[in-house]
Amino acid sequence: MHRSTSDSSPFYKRGAPLILVLVAIALLPLFLIYDRPRGAALNEVKQNGILRVLTVNSPTTYYEGPEHAMGLEYELASGLAKRLRVELAMETADSIASILPRLTRGDSHFAAAGLIVSKEREQIVKFTPPYQEIQQQVVYLMGRKRPKSVEDLLGRDISVVAGSSAAHHLNALKASHPNLRWTETSDKSADQLLYDVWQGELQITITDSHVIAVARHHYPELAIGFDIRESVKLAWAFPMNDDDSIYDIAVDYLKELKENGELDRLLERYYGLTESFDYINVSEYRRKIESVLPRYQALFQEAEKQTGFDWRLLAAMAYQESYWDPAAVSPTGVKGIMQLTNATAEEMNVDDRTDPRQSILGGAAYLKHIRERIPERIQEPDRTWFALAAYNLGFGHFEDARILTQRSGKSPDNWLDVKELLPMLTDPEWYETTKHGQARGEQALTFVTRIRTFYDVLVRITQEADAAIEDSG
């Protein structure tokens, strides 16, 4: 359903409906929940063994990954459920607009949906301290006229998610820009609107910077016009009542994640790859997924069966190594689709490095061999990022980086910490104190970051293709 904001009635111009509707929705159930005894919510969770968390399905909140559920909000909520020793039930709302009404009805214990803290929302729900700070940005299609200010939005085809913070901010801007027009949709998510912009079906959308950053890896021609407002904060939302038993635990939990660095590690896991956006590289990669990858996909899938690595990760790795060119030869003499050295090829029983099957199976086997040498206490996905870095850098040099990380007072078992020290392997002040000496640590960091990007893009494309087959069947 789409709703135009061009209604010219005096009541609409005053901007009253949004606040009145939200307040009405909130007040209706309050008399029922204010009388709940303190601690009742926590007792209910422990008695039933289930923590019910309201969210939306999106790449930045909660979604089904290649092997299991993923998403920043899912990871955070899972940690809280483990702390409470209960199971987590992620309940998805149809849209952002339906989150607060459902929460105030008592449908869930709290909402974890990338909600922006605002004065209007604080009137009807109780927010935790923020866990992330973002921007709200104007997005357009590369090649079209760039909007640089609110004035440049006048007369443009604009659509935003109904009930979103972007929609509310546009309402606020209308007071100083009465000719500003847009539509709000409850049928599409922010990611779907970004797709419409990428397809040329919509001129402008406005949404959150972390959503845009992830989407640009999949829709590389998206461009950012400008930040439409100052930075905003994301937090969990709880029902407005006197029972803070779960709320207090959640606040302490999020505070602890900030203090021990786990929150930063989760943010890096989901958004670290967004810092390396390269339009030309990603665009060319998407084209080669259609034109070149089909020749070798079966070989990557065979390698998955032999090693346990997701075939899409191996394909992403091979693309970073050779752009899927089995005849590729580097200036240092490494060859083939997986760019094997003579020593590695010999160790993995590869007779012909330019043979695609031998190279793919040999490279995957070598990556598995490296991962098996990494301490078992290191968990995924960091364990795989470590293996990829060691594949590129050499296991000894990578161990040097971990030692330097430990000397610096950080964790040698955490990718977020180790990747900060990798570039130091090119600095004499650092590498002269190591066992294996100088190494191109920055190159290894780039290697892992790009593979993560290529893997993420390929997973998204294959999942969309699978979904289309299911729908047609």
Measure the CA–CA gap between 62 and 116, rounded to whole angstroms. Answer: 16
CB count, 10 Å around CB of 370?
A: 18
Name the DSSP letter for residue 142: B
71 neighbors 61 (Cβ within 8 angstroms)? yes
Q: What is the DSSP letter of 58?
A: B
| Token pair 């866990």: residue | 131
**Closest Cα partner for 348 from 407, 292, 388, 303?**
303
Q: How many CA atoms lie within 13 A of 169 on its CB side?
A: 24
**Residue 277, amino acid:** F
Q: In terms of DSSP H, where are the helices of 174-330?
A: 190-198, 209-218, 245-260, 262-271, 279-291, 297-307, 311-322
What tokens appear for 44 in the block?
């209910």
- Using DSSP bridges, classify how beta strands 183-185 and 159-161 pair: parallel, antiparallel or unpaired: parallel
Query: How is residue 301 written in tokens?
Result: 């899938």
Please name every residue paired with 70 in a beta bridge, in sequence order, or none if there are none: 63
Question: In what side-by-side order are the strands of the sheet with 2-4?
Answer: 2-4, 183-185, 159-161
| Closest alpha carbon to 106 in 17, 21, 44, 20 | 44
Q: Residues 6 or more apart from 193 whose CB is under 8 A from it? A: 159, 160, 161, 185, 202, 205, 207
For CA atoms 329, 333, 337, 338, the dihedral sign is negative
Beta carbons within 10 angstroms of residue 260's beta carbon: 10
Phi, psi of 231 (to 5 degrees): -60, 150
Exactly one of 64, 321, 346, 432 is catalytic; name it: 321
Q: Which two tokens stand for residue 169?
A: 């901010």
Rounded to the nearest 10 degrees, the angle between the axes of helix 441-472 and helix 395-407 is 110
How far from 361 is each of 128, 299, 462, CA to CA, in Å?
Answer: 49, 8, 21
Tokens 């910490």, residue located: 417
Collect all residues with Cβ–Cβ distance below 8 Å to 180 and sequence separation of at least 6: 150, 153, 154, 170, 173, 174
- Active site annotation includes 464: no
Residue numbers annotated as active site: 321
